Amino acid sequence: MRCDYKTKSKDTIMEILNSNKDITLSADDIFKIFQKKCVNVNITTIYRNLDKLEKEGVLNKFPASDSHKALYQIICHDLHNEEHLHMQCSNCGKVIHLDCDYMADFVKHIKDHHQFDLTCDKSILFGLCDDCKKKLDDSSKINK
């Protein structure tokens, strides 16, 4: 019986991650989605399954820009996550895949000039996405 519960939890976590491919989610975010779906699950079960999924290479684990918690995102092999950097909006959490020819030059520069092999699959740059920047710009215009 307990094994089925773990499988159901893992399946639900995968459904949640698959339906949110373009953003990162914390364990707390996933827990809240479970609650909205009226599915009873322990937060420890979520963390345990996220750790297993990361070890299995199913998802990436990123540090949050503003806290010590971890953020998770499913790896989409069609997007070749392991071959490019990621950019994450510090405001909304959206992850943008930085997959352009310039990045190969950047990685080569880091190797040649700084003697450092950059691992792209877990590399993330933080900043503001265009949508959030526009919202902040618009709100600052209103407050003037």
What 3-state DSSP class applies to 122?
A: coil
C-beta atoms surrounding 96 within 10 Å: 16
Q: What is the pLDDT of residue 89?
A: 84
CATH architecture assigned to 78-144: 2-Layer Sandwich (3.30)
Question: Would you list the domain boundaries of the chain?
Answer: 1-75, 78-144
Q: Among residues 104, 54, 96, 89, which one has the least CA distance to residue 75?
A: 54
Q: What is the pLDDT of residue 121?
A: 67
pTM value > 0.75? no
Contact 58, 72 (CB under 8 A): no
Residue range 1-75 forms a domain whose CATH class is: mainly alpha
Per-residue confidence in pLDDT tens, the chain, 144 aa:
344 444 788 999 999 999 988 778 999 999 999 999 888 899 999 999 999 999 998 888 887 766 678 888 888 755 444 456 778 888 877 777 777 778 788 888 999 999 998 877 667 788 898 999 998 888 777 765
| CA 33/CA 13 separation, integer angstroms | 9
Q: What is the pLDDT of residue 55?
A: 92
CATH topology agreement for domains 1-75 and 78-144: no
